[in-house]
């Protein structure tokens, strides 16, 4: 008797920045080509799915955010499945596959996915396909692409198995009979490029992929309908975010000379804004617009310069088959085109392959089309990484390299994510600076490369830099500085120990020192207010390139040492040739170049604070290198000090993290 198979499966996603969502949506679209019916929901749409009764295969696509936390729209779900009251067979009817997205630059890689998986298994669910752990640090597609390729066979296998398990020889199958075949599967169009002209010059990126046959992804039809109405929307103001317009009171450049990144301190006057009350350790979002020149360039590329004040209407294409299709929630109604490109869409986004694929259809020149096809093809993965992803080319920079490409506005809206605010850590304490909020930032520089003829600054830091224009005299004290949109970020666990007697270690090179300035200012005030109290020992490991160029807050830090607020200040200079440590001149061989070297030098005291005195260790700053190196060094320290093996040392560190005694506030 033929096996009769149900075709339905469920896709659930939890997504912070839209990547997990877009992968989930891609699966839902592709399902049809495989003769399958996908039911797509976000994890927080609990009214749309019911795992308690679900018999069909369930595919989870989940990202991880912050310090290993679930994305906002998966929080409730994760909380729910963690309940201790659930029995070990709660999900024994469930079979699942899981794709976890994460970034190995951060601690707790793919933690949300791992948590969900752990709980599903503890509750009896069965896995029908190997779990994928995709790393944004090296490119999600390295894992995502092969995982997606194998998924279909796995789903079909799971459905077939369910059908055969279910066949009742007396009653026969109750489900609709349908053979699942690959006949409709036309996802990859085989594109023979060998007969189409020659190659592109290096400004468009020379094709290095053999041009025999490319697997170019299929193109989903547009799902948004966009029209422009000739209503002048010039008066548009930003009212879609719960932020405050806070005046900048002071701007100070903290670094001097070249060979160092430019660091600036901004002081905001928050006295008139009660919602801006913060504690040291808090961070807040700065809402910056896209650069006016880039918005103009984009309008030019769209051929819409003369319509920039027209009102934009975005709706769903009536006949769209895209599962879960929605008008992006971050596009408010009745906005002008100028406002849309200035405040809503991240036009600096590095275009994903799907976006490049869509651009092919709007590119006139054959050679350029072929190059785009190559970049989005399976065979062009390395090229894509080298030419687009690694140098961080923005969509505008890509368009510049493909002059014959004229994308429609709807394509941009479909593919560009929300313009994200940039978070910054408070570098002050309200106790020391009532009504003020300080923060420090490095001006990010993107150097010129083959796809970017001229270097540029980071979006927000470049914007702030231009706003305060440190070259001009008004920088030092005049009230002519502008206001910026700011909002406090909720949920912060990066806090001083509530018990004043607990010792703590702070590791914050470069601008990573920011929250520790707040901590120490707070501690200074606490010491004044509680002269009788016993205060735990305090350590700060700071690092920079040169003592006389980028030693941020030097005077203030040395002042903390003099007043006894900071017991140990350990500074490493990575580029100074000879360095004085106390009275000894250390040679470049022996001197600690980076914070982790200094940590190693003081391994005994660190171990004592963390493992004997119940103390805390805080790390703030660069996630890509520093935080990893510090983490590895801590493992090394635990290994040698406790005489345990690597695994045991890792467990000990993980335990400290669990107890919130090893805390990170890192970015990159």
One residue of 6, 64, 111, 442 binding ligand FAD per CB under 6 A: 442
Sheet containing strand 311-316, strands side by side: 224-229, 311-316, 335-336
Given the rule CB under 6 A, which of 71-79, 296-304, 423-431, 548-556 is the region that contacts ligand FAD? 423-431
142-to-93, 197, 338, 363 alpha-carbon distances in Å: 32, 30, 37, 27
Task: Tell me the closest approach of the beta carbon of residue 603 to ligand FAD, in angstroms.
Answer: 28
One residue of 18, 139, 222, 392 binding ligand FAD per CB under 6 A: 392
Task: Tell me the closest approach of the beta carbon of residue 344 to ligand FAD, in angstroms.
Answer: 16
Q: What angle do CA 340, 302, 197 make, to 5 degrees?
A: 140
Q: Under the criterion CB under 6 A, does residue 446 sit at the interface with ligand FAD?
A: yes
Residues 489 and 223: their CA atoms lie apart, in Å, by 33
Task: Tell me the closest approach of the beta carbon of residue 446 to ligand FAD, in angstroms.
Answer: 4
Residues 240-279 that bind ligand FAD (CB under 6 A): none
Q: Under the criterion CB under 6 A, does residue 440 sit at the interface with ligand FAD?
A: yes
* Closer by beta carbon to ligand FAD, 126 or else 485: 485
Q: What are phi and psi of 367, to 5 degrees?
A: -65, -40
Task: Tell me the closest approach of the beta carbon of residue 621 to ligand FAD, in angstroms.
Answer: 8
Residues 166-225 that bind ligand FAD (CB under 6 A): none
Q: How many helices (H) and strands (E) does the chain have?
A: 18, 26
Q: What angle do CA 418, 100, 621 make, to 5 degrees?
A: 65
User: CB of 307 within 8 A of CB of 339?
Assistant: no
The residue number whose beta carbon is nearest to ligand FAD equals 458
List of residues 6+ apart from 617 with CB closer than 8 A: 504, 505, 506, 507, 606, 609, 610, 634, 656, 661, 662, 663
One residue of 35, 132, 458, 509 binding ligand FAD per CB under 6 A: 458
Residues 245 and 293: their CA atoms lie apart, in Å, by 23
Q: Under the criterion CB under 6 A, does residue 387 sit at the interface with ligand FAD?
A: no
Burial (CB < 10 A; 0-12, 13-18, 19+), residue 456, is middle
Residues 328 and 224: their CA atoms lie apart, in Å, by 10
Q: Give me the torsion for CA of 33, 37, 39, 40, rounded to 10°.
A: 0
* Closer by beta carbon to ligand FAD, 322 or else 438: 438
DSSP letter string, 184-208: T---EEEE--TTS--PPPTTS----
Task: Tell me the closest approach of the beta carbon of residue 454 to ligand FAD, in angstroms.
Answer: 13
Q: Under the criterion CB under 6 A, does residue 572 sit at the interface with ligand FAD?
A: no
Residues 107 and 251: their CA atoms lie apart, in Å, by 33
* Closer by beta carbon to ligand FAD, 244 or else 294: 294
Q: Under the criterion CB under 6 A, does residue 35 sit at the interface with ligand FAD?
A: no
Residues 592 and 213: their CA atoms lie apart, in Å, by 53
Burial (CB < 10 A; 0-12, 13-18, 19+), residue 453, is exposed
One residue of 124, 423, 470, 497 binding ligand FAD per CB under 6 A: 423
Residues 489 and 589: their CA atoms lie apart, in Å, by 43
Residues 512-551 that bind ligand FAD (CB under 6 A): 514
* Closer by beta carbon to ligand FAD, 391 or else 408: 391
Task: Tell me the closest approach of the beta carbon of residue 265 to ligand FAD, in angstroms.
Answer: 10
Task: Tell me the closest approach of the beta carbon of residue 625 to ligand FAD, in angstroms.
Answer: 12
Residues 344-373 that bind ligand FAD (CB under 6 A): 348
Token pair 């749409």 in the structure block, residue: 45
* Closer by beta carbon to ligand FAD, 261 or else 362: 261
- For the record, the structure tokens of 7 come out as 């075709």
Q: Under the criterion CB under 6 A, does residue 668 sit at the interface with ligand FAD?
A: yes
* Closer by beta carbon to ligand FAD, 105 or else 373: 105
Q: How many Å separate Cα 512 from the centre of its chain?
A: 18
One residue of 128, 424, 553, 560 binding ligand FAD per CB under 6 A: 424
Task: Tell me the closest approach of the beta carbon of residue 362 to ligand FAD, in angstroms.
Answer: 26
Q: Under the criterion CB under 6 A, does residue 460 sit at the interface with ligand FAD?
A: yes
Given the rule CB under 6 A, which of 300-308, 409-417, 457-465, 557-565 is the region that contacts ligand FAD? 457-465
Number of residues near ligand FAD (by CB under 6 A): 25
One residue of 6, 64, 270, 283 binding ligand FAD per CB under 6 A: 283
* Closer by beta carbon to ligand FAD, 423 or else 435: 423
One residue of 444, 492, 561, 644 binding ligand FAD per CB under 6 A: 444
* Closer by beta carbon to ligand FAD, 446 or else 539: 446
Q: What angle do CA 315, 320, 324 make, to 5 degrees?
A: 80
* Closer by beta carbon to ligand FAD, 196 or else 445: 445
User: What separation, in Å, do the N-terminal and C-terminal C-alpha atoms of the chain show?
Assistant: 58
One residue of 12, 120, 248, 459 binding ligand FAD per CB under 6 A: 459
Q: How many Å separate Cα 126 from the centre of its chain?
A: 30
Q: Under the criterion CB under 6 A, does residue 284 sit at the interface with ligand FAD?
A: no
* Closer by beta carbon to ligand FAD, 144 or else 623: 623
Task: Tell me the closest approach of the beta carbon of residue 447 to ligand FAD, in angstroms.
Answer: 6
List of residues 6+ apart from 594 with CB closer than 8 A: 509, 543, 572, 574, 626, 629
DSSP letter string, 409-465: HHHHHHHS-B-PPEEEEB-S-TTTSTTEEEEEEE--EEPPBTTBSS-EE-HHHHHHH
Given the rule CB under 6 A, which of 19-27, 82-90, 166-174, 444-452 is the region that contacts ligand FAD? 444-452
One residue of 106, 355, 402, 441 binding ligand FAD per CB under 6 A: 441
* Closer by beta carbon to ligand FAD, 31 or else 459: 459
Task: Tell me the closest approach of the beta carbon of residue 258 to ligand FAD, in angstroms.
Answer: 17
* Closer by beta carbon to ligand FAD, 490 or else 531: 490
Strands 283-287 and 422-425: antiparallel
Task: Tell me the closest approach of the beta carbon of residue 634 to ligand FAD, in angstroms.
Answer: 21
Residues 460 and 462: their CA atoms lie apart, in Å, by 5
Q: Under the criterion CB under 6 A, does residue 425 sit at the interface with ligand FAD?
A: yes
Task: Tell me the closest approach of the beta carbon of residue 459 to ligand FAD, in angstroms.
Answer: 4
Task: Tell me the closest approach of the beta carbon of residue 420 to ligand FAD, in angstroms.
Answer: 8
What does the binding site for ligand FAD look like in residue numbers (CB under 6 A)? 283, 348, 391-392, 422-425, 439-442, 444, 446-447, 458-462, 511, 514, 665, 667-668
């Amino acid at each position: 008797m033929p096996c009769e198979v149900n075709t339905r499966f469920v896709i659930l996603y939890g997504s912070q920045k839209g990547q997990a969502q877009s992968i989930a949506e891609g699966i839902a679209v592709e399902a049809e080509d495989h003769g399958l019916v996908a039911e797509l929901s976000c994890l927080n749409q609990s009214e749309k799915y019911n795992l308690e009764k679900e018999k069909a295969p369930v595919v989870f696509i989940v990202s991880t955010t912050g310090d290993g936390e679930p994305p906002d729209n998966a929080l409730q779900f994760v909380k729910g499945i963690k309940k201790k009251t659930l029995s070990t067979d709660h999900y024994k009817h469930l079979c699942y596959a899981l794709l976890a997205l994460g970034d190995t630059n951060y601690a707790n890689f793919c933690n949300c996915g791992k948590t969900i998986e752990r709980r599903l298994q503890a509750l009896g669910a069965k896995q029908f396909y190997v779990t994928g752990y995709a790393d944004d640090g090296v490119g999600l597609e390295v894992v995502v692409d092969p995982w997606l390729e194998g998924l279909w066979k796995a789903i079909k296998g799971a459905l077939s198995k369910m059908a055969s398990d279910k066949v009742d020889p007396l009653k026969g199958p109750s489900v609709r009979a349908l053979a699942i075949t690959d006949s409709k599967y036309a996802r990859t169009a085989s594109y023979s490029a060998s007969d189409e002209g020659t190659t592109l010059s290096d400004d468009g990126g020379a094709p290095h992929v053999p041009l025999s046959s490319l697997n170019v992804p299929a193109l989903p039809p547009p799902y948004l309908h966009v029209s422009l109405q000739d209503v002048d929307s010039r008066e548009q103001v930003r009212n879609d975010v719960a932020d405050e317009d806070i005046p900048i009171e002071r701007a100070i450049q903290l670094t001097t000379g070249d060979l160092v990144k430019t660091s600036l301190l901004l002081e905001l006057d928050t006295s008139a804004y009660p919602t801006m009350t913060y504690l040291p350790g808090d961070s807040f979002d700065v809402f910056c617009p896209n650069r006016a020149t880039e918005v103009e360039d984009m309008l030019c590329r769209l051929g819409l310069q003369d319509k920039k004040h027209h009102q934009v209407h975005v709706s769903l294409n009536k006949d769209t088959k895209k599962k879960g299709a929605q008008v992006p929630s971050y596009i408010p109604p009745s906005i002008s085109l100028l406002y849309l490109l200035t405040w809503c869409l991240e036009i600096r986004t590095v275009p994903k392959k799907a976006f490049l694929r869509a651009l092919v259809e709007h590119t006139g020149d054959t050679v350029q089309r072929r190059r785009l096809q190559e970049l989005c093809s399976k065979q062009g993965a390395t090229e894509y990484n080298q030419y687009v992803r690694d140098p961080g080319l923005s969509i505008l920079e890509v368009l510049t390299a493909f002059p014959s490409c004229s994308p429609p506005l709807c394509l941009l809206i479909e593919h560009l994510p929300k313009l994200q605010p940039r978070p910054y850590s408070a570098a002050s304490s309200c106790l020391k600076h009532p009504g003020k909020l300080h923060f420090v930032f490095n001006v990010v520089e993107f150097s010129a490369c083959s796809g970017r003829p001229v270097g540029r600054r980071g979006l927000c830091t470049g914007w702030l830099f231009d706003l305060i224009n440190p070259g001009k005299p008004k920088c030092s004290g005049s009230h002519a500085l502008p206001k910026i949109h700011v909002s406090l970020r909720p949920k912060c666990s990066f806090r001083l120990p509530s018990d004043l007697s607990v010792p703590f270690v702070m590791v914050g090179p470069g601008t990573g020192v920011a929250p520790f300035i707040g901590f120490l200012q707070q501690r200074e005030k606490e010491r004044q207010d509680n002269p009788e109290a016993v205060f735990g020992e305090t350590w700060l490991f700071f690092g920079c390139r040169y003592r006389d160029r980028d030693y941020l807050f030097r005077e203030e830090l040395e002042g903390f040492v003099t007043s006894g607020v900071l017991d140990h200040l350990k500074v490493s200079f990575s580029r100074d040739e000879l360095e004085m440590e106390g009275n000894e001149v250390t040679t470049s061989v022996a001197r600690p170049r980076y914070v982790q070297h200094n940590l190693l030098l003081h391994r005994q005291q660190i171990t004592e604070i963390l493992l004997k005195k119940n103390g805390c260790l805080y790390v703030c700053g660069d996630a890509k290198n520093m935080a990893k190196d510090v983490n590895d060094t801590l493992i090394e320290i635990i290994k040698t000090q406790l005489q345990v093996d690597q695994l045991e040392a890792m467990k000990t560190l993980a335990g400290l993290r669990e107890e919130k005694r090893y805390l990170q506030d890192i970015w990159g």
